[in-house]
Amino acid sequence: MSQNPTTAATLEVAGAASRRTRRRLLAVLGFVATVLLTFLGLLAITFFIGRVIPIDPVLAIVGDRASNEVYQAARVAMGLDQPLPVQFFHYVVNVFSGDLGQSVSTGRSVVEDLSRFFPATLEMATIGIIIGVVLGVPLGVIAASRQGSIIDQIIRVVGLLGYSMPAFWLGLVGLALFYARLRWVGGPGRLDIFYDGLVQPVTGLLLVDSLLAGEIEIFWNAVTHLVLPASVLGFFSLAYIARMTRSFMLDQLSQEFVTTARVKGVPERLVIWRHAFNPIRVPLITVIGLSYAGLLEGSVMIETVFSWPGIGNYLTTALLNADMNAVLGSTLVIGAVFIFINKISDVLYRVLDPRAR
């Protein structure tokens, strides 16, 4: 009699465990399927943009000064004499084998260009999201715990400004103020001109590379250049993260278990951080993921303003030169990263929350 419940419990635990792994496996498969499907959708859209909308995609690639032979050769080389589904199939195969075509303006393959420019964007967006999280989360929590206070009002205004201020404008104003007038930060670009090219790219992240090379001076110079564009990005993610944190926290603070904690005599600081904040860590991860993906997108504008040699700058240059391969390649890469972060944060939600496990 005393033996039985234990065995039953063990069996039950084992059964639950295998059920859990199966459920997890299914979740992973479903995740892969939706990511692939969404990615195919993205390919369909870029294909549509590149091959269907332009009245003459060949012209868009070779330019209007090309001779007839060049034109015809390009047309066949691009497979434009074949039916659309076949063309799409070739396009998908090419993309998955890592071929995004040649860039007209740089003369290199788009993949090579992108891998050269991507780290600069990544560095800026990452510092931006760190600023956004480190400031945005505590501000949101404080705003919610002192609803109606001055801090709460400030967070509200900041949140609204984050929705209504053009990022490129804030970047320009920042440059005019902190660079031109106050001289607190470095100007456009990743480094002062005379430091350029002194550090061998290893990771492509200048902060890391300069430290690896032991070049402290260059590291600090890179920091002064990075701080303004990253702060501008940080402002927008701060606005969004603080607003969402505040709304999640308000939701939690009105829950019954928060009252329970107060009934127990738990100090207010712990009521807020341990009881109200802990349950929202998981949904916050999703918000932060979305915000990070949004920063990658927002960096297009910011990079233009700060002449930041990243993927956004590459994209805008390509746009102005009608360099379609480069445009579609960057769209594809930014889109893919965006989709991936989006879906990952969605899945993390389900993996990390004890209620959903």
Please, which of residues 56-85 interact with other proteins by CB under 8 A? 60
Nearer to other proteins, 171 or 209 (CB): 171
Tokens linked to 27: 């979740």
**315 touching other proteins, by CB under 8 A:** yes
Least distance CB 190 / other proteins (angstroms): 19
- Asked if 294 and 112 count as a contact pair (C-beta separation under 8 A), the reply is no
Among 56, 81, 196, 268, which residue interacts with other proteins (rule: CB under 8 A)? 268
Residue 309: count of CB within 10 angstroms of its CB? 16
* Exposed/middle/buried for residue 65 (C-beta within 10 Å: 0-12, 13-18, 19+): exposed
**316 touching other proteins, by CB under 8 A:** yes
Please, which of residues 157-186 interact with other proteins by CB under 8 A? 160-161, 163-169, 172-173, 175-176, 179-180
Least distance CB 8 / other proteins (angstroms): 11
Find how far residue 141's CA is from the centre of its chain.
24
Please, which of residues 326-345 interact with other proteins by CB under 8 A? 327-328, 330-331, 334-335, 338-339, 342-343
Nearer to other proteins, 154 or 198 (CB): 154
Please, which of residues 25-44 interact with other proteins by CB under 8 A? 37-38, 41-42
Rounded to 5 degrees, what angle do the CA atoms 83, 85, 89 make? 115
Can you tell me whether residue 235 is helix, strand or coil? helix
H or E stretch including 162? helix 150-164
Among 114, 186, 246, 308, which residue interacts with other proteins (rule: CB under 8 A)? 246
Please, which of residues 3-22 interact with other proteins by CB under 8 A? 5, 9
Q: How many whole angstroms separate alpha carbon 316 and alpha carbon 227?
A: 22
Least distance CB 259 / other proteins (angstroms): 6
DSSP string, 233-252: HHHHHHHHHHHHHHHHHHHH
Least distance CB 140 / other proteins (angstroms): 11
